[in-house]
Amino acid sequence: MRRSPYAQTRFPQADAQRGSCTSRSTSYAASIAAGLMVHQFTRWLRGAPVDADTTLNLLAGEWLAA
């Protein structure tokens, strides 16, 4: 069986960042992405035009839709 190169990139659990803040921020980002996808899907279901490409920059407060 061939070993994946991914296994060589892993690091020990002791070196991993701990803390609930990381978990929460990941959850918030996933919730935002899910909301944007549901928004586009709803537009598609209603026959409204959908955005082919969307870029969202939360830090800068920019939303670019094409």
Residues 36-55 pLDDT 10s: 899 999 999 999 999 989 88
Neighbouring-strand partners of residue 63? 56
Using DSSP, how many helices (H) and how many strands (E) does the chain show?
Answer: 2, 2
Query: What number is the average pLDDT over the span 1-23?
Result: 73
Of the two residues 39 and 15, the one the predictor is more confident about is 39
